[in-house]
Structure 1
Amino acid sequence: MQSHCLWETTAREPSPDTARLGHDREAAVCIVGGGITGLSTALHLAEQGIDSVLLEAGESVASGGSGRNVGLVNAGLWIPPDDIVEALGWADGERVNQILGAAPAAVFDIIERYAIDCSATRTGTLHLGHSAKGCGELARRHDQLASRGAPVTLVEGEACHALTGTRRIQAALLDERAGTLNPAAYTRGLARAAVEQGARLFTCSAAKGIKRDGGRWRVTTEHGSVTAPHVVLATNAYTCDEWNQVKQHFFPGHFFQVASQPLEGDAAERILPQRQGAWDTRMVLSSIRRDDQGRLILGSLGQGEGRPQAYLEQWANQVQRRYFPELGKVEWQTSWTGRIGFTPDHTLRLFEPQPGILAASGYNGRGLTTGSVVGKGFAHFIASGDDALLPLPLKRHAPIRARGLRSAAYESGFTLYHAGQCLRVVT
């Protein structure tokens, strides 16, 4: 088994030609971070005729979590809608539920308008009840979502077995708003569309600092700078520098994935035959999906990089044998890991560290859809001063305490859980 991101090697959407920033430049907006949030901001600014310069530290725009996630076009946040209201209050909670509930439609609209070749499906996603308790949680989520008009169905018994391809799952929550895609291809497509509309993108151009320059902000890199009245910090879980205040507003985590060789035969075709993306209700979830070439792709919370390949293969074998024993022995092709920005209440943060600077953090594993919508909302706010398109109003937030301890506790818990799966202590 190799160690590289499957999405990068199978994406048909080419990455646009970019170069390193080598001179001092001026723009209306400087965007730091070439993931989905930053690229969506650049694209939607360009659609309104607003000039932007985007700085990406990596060699390509899809090198971070935006190109390495599971590729689920999910609606809403990770936690159920009533829990969101409890955490944020009624007004902000229902605002999140409404705007992020419509986020998959916004993603598919971008894909269609700019003909992004990202293997998108619109058959929904499945939340799988792996136990009686998990099925009860799905029923609770179903009732909350259905009461808000979401097209969700609780599928049970034989209908569930046919939809999932496993008899280990007795109930699944089908969300018809959602779907799947190749995240690296989608991110590249956003970049291509932004450039076509007039945005200026620079890779290998890590921002080194930011300071006031008269009434504007000056963002410096190793070989040049960008001066602009507005700055968007779109680095989220990949924020490393102390000057970047986003770092104070999440604690980092990871999500690893393991992909098989393309599968064939009746047993393989029974697994997610409608190609929904899926994840289960385990304490430490397992994600399950197929790609357009028939691979089985399993994933879970935790760090995969640096782990022995035998460990990852053993984990993947145990999950596969648990859910899909009819497959027999599976050959695993590759593994990879991406980062997640967590927050204690599992909700995102949108804020202004300083006047003229916008920032986002804490997508908690829902960055594909959330980042797309936040980028559009940031662009609208910069153009009009109106934050109505953002999932939350811009607010001040206290820095998250004990970030390192939280990350270590999460990773330790994930590791112990996976070890239990490998040893068949956890079933």
Structure 2
Amino acid sequence: MTQSPCRSLWRDSAPAAPDLPSLQGHHQVEVVIVGGGFTGLSTALHLAKEGVSVAVVEANEIGFGGSGRNVGLVNAGVWLEPDSLDKTLGNVAGRRMYDALAVAPDYVFDLIAEYDIACEATRHGTLHASVGKSGLAQLQRRCQQMQERGAPVSLLSDQEAKQRIGSNKFNAALFDPRAGTIQPLAYVRGLARAALQEGANIFEQSPVTAIEKSHNAWRVCSELGAIQADKVILATNAYCQHGVANQASKFVPIAYSQLASKPLTEQQLAQILPNKEGVWDTCTVMSSFRLDQAGRLIFGGMGAEGRALSNWASQRVVEIFPILEKVEWEFCWTGNIAYSADHLPHCQQLQQGLLSISGYSGRGIGPGTVLGAELADWVMGKRDELSVPTSTLKDIPFREIQRLFYELGAQTYHLGQQAHALS
């Protein structure tokens, strides 16, 4: 097995980013958005499309955070099972969120078509693959609950899953035809171009140093410039700076790493994911895999990049797909997931005119795009409520200890799986 180089496939293969300035001097707009990811850019695009003056301020480059580092699965809904969503939020609020995010893939793929975003968009569905009796029971519950709510999902048998995935390591798979895959960094850059086309302002390499309230207006400051606005939206998710409205304490940041192989052979591609679905499994320490349009296998798992994860990934991929025999990784990269206490996104009104949205818990492409459109309507007074909770979040106790627990747990799992395979 080969130790992978620390280099992102998405950065290597995405179309060039738009040439964006840093924030310098003084500006005035109606809305400032801090964070250039799915949510921030979707909000900016939908506001600008309606003639609202808006500016996005990004600390690094567009898509630097989780939006440009994820596996690229465009799924419907959230992590929670639908019944658990209703139990957490109540039947009315739970159904409102479920219905809004059930159509999230439509939002994503419609925007891609409308603005001709080149991002390897492939809408062949996704497969949630079960491992063991508990995994099968989970998928059976999910399938029933989703079908009761009108979702066009189906539970594939072990033989059907084997044919669709190209592996006998899973005893069932929940197929969702609404979903698909994208090159996420290319999608983020495409959203930025679309927002610019509609008249938004976007500033890169401009870390926010202060957010201040002055009379009835807000002032967002960087080292070399400032923007005055009526409203400010914090859309930084897992990359929130501790000094900005103290939002980093509301979630636990968890690392999720991915590796990409060299392009597979025609013989391997005929067997492995022949329909090009994206896959993730039911294991407690989840892993995911998919193909890109060049035929590379992209495999992801919880934990920071390093030898333990790379060795485990090499071993696990060959277990799933024996036809590979061995794997040579060309790329690896890591992104942070923002886990909220209830695994749901929340939009908080911190003060009048100051909003914060975060907590996608690993599912940000569809929800981030949808909630950007909803935030735009909410800001313009076109809707009274969002499809996500707007209650103020409490600080997560022992946040750093929880982060270390997840990280050490993932490392222990990876090392344990390797030792088991060698015994």
> Shorter-chain TM-score: what band?
over 0.9
Within-5 A mapping of 1:133-152: 133-152=134-153
Contact 1:420 1:426 in 2 (8 A): no
Q: Which residue in the other structure is 1:359 paired with?
A: 356
Secondary structure of the equivalent of 2:127? Answer: strand
Note the alpha carbon deviations across 1:226-260, whole angstroms, 9 max, x for none. 10010010011001232333213211111000110
Counterparts of 1:157 and 1:228, CA distance in 2: 56
Distance 1:385 1:396, change over 3 A: farther
Q: Which residue in the other structure is 1:130 paired with?
A: 131
Contact 1:39 1:191 in 2 (8 A): yes
Q: What code does the residue aligned with 1:255 have?
A: Y
Within-5 A mapping of 1:358-377: 358-377=355-374
Counterparts of 2:213 and 2:317, CA distance in 1: 54
Pairwise CA distance, 1:393: 4.5
Within-5 A mapping of 1:10-29: 10-12=13-15, 14-29=16-31
Contact 1:126 1:276 in 2 (8 A): yes
Contact 1:27 1:53 in 2 (8 A): yes
Q: Which residue in the other structure is 2:294 paired with?
A: 293
Q: Which residue in the other structure is 2:212 paired with?
A: 211
Q: Which residue in the other structure is 1:405 paired with?
A: 401
Q: Which of 7, 10, 31 pairs up with 1:7?
A: 10
Pairwise CA distance, 1:425: 6.0
Q: Which of 409, 414, 417 pairs up with 2:410?
A: 414
Q: Which of 321, 327, 330 pairs up with 1:330?
A: 327
Counterparts of 2:161 and 2:309, CA distance in 1: 28
Q: Which of 43, 46, 61 pairs up with 2:45?
A: 43
Contact 2:309 2:414 in 1 (8 A): no
Contact 1:245 1:353 in 2 (8 A): no
Secondary structure of the equivalent of 1:346? Answer: coil
Counterparts of 1:67 and 1:192, CA distance in 2: 15
Q: What code does the residue aligned with 1:363 have?
A: Y
Q: Which residue in the other structure is 1:270 paired with?
A: 271
What do you get for the CA RMSD once the two structures are aligned? Answer: 1.5
Q: Equivalent pairs: percent with the same residue?
A: 42
* TM-score under structure 1 length normalisation: 0.96
Within-5 A mapping of 1:343-354: 343-354=340-351
Note the alpha carbon deviations across 1:169-218, whole angstroms, 9 max, x for none. 12100011110000000000000000010000000111111111221000
Contact 1:118 1:181 in 2 (8 A): yes
Counterparts of 1:422 and 1:88, CA distance in 2: 40
Counterparts of 1:426 and 1:19, CA distance in 2: 53
Contact 2:75 2:126 in 1 (8 A): yes
Work out the number of aligned pairs and report it.
420
Counterparts of 1:121 and 1:61, CA distance in 2: 23
Q: Please say if 1:234 is aligned against 2:231.
A: no
Q: What code does the residue aligned with 1:54 have?
A: V
Counterparts of 2:349 and 2:397, CA distance in 1: 19
Q: What code does the residue aligned with 1:9 have?
A: D
Counterparts of 1:243 and 1:426, CA distance in 2: 48
Counterparts of 2:362 and 2:244, CA distance in 1: 24
Gaps of 5+ in 1: none
Note the alpha carbon deviations across 1:371-411, whole angstroms, 9 max, x for none. 111111111111116244x3225222222222112111111
Note the alpha carbon deviations across 1:51-107, whole angstroms, 9 max, x for none. 11110010x202211011010001111121111111111111111111111111111
Secondary structure of the equivalent of 1:406? Answer: helix
Counterparts of 1:387 and 1:264, CA distance in 2: 53
Secondary structure of the equivalent of 2:350? Answer: coil
Q: Which of 307, 312, 321 pairs up with 2:309?
A: 312
Note the alpha carbon deviations across 1:327-366, whole angstroms, 9 max, x for none. 1122111110000000121111111011001111110001
Contact 1:246 1:360 in 2 (8 A): no
Within-5 A mapping of 1:103-118: 103-118=104-119
Contact 2:158 2:173 in 1 (8 A): no
Q: Please say if 1:382 is aligned against 2:385.
A: no
Counterparts of 1:175 and 1:101, CA distance in 2: 11
Counterparts of 1:157 and 1:387, CA distance in 2: 46
Q: Please say if 1:100 is aligned against 2:97.
A: no
Counterparts of 2:245 and 2:337, CA distance in 1: 17
Pairwise CA distance, 1:312: 3.5
Q: Which residue in the other structure is 1:90 paired with?
A: 91
Note the alpha carbon deviations across 1:142-189, whole angstroms, 9 max, x for none. 001000000101011322211010011121000111100000000000
In terms of mean alpha carbon deviation, does 79-88 or 186-195 score higher?
79-88
Contact 1:231 1:358 in 2 (8 A): yes
Gaps of 5+ in 2: none
Secondary structure of the equivalent of 1:374? Answer: helix
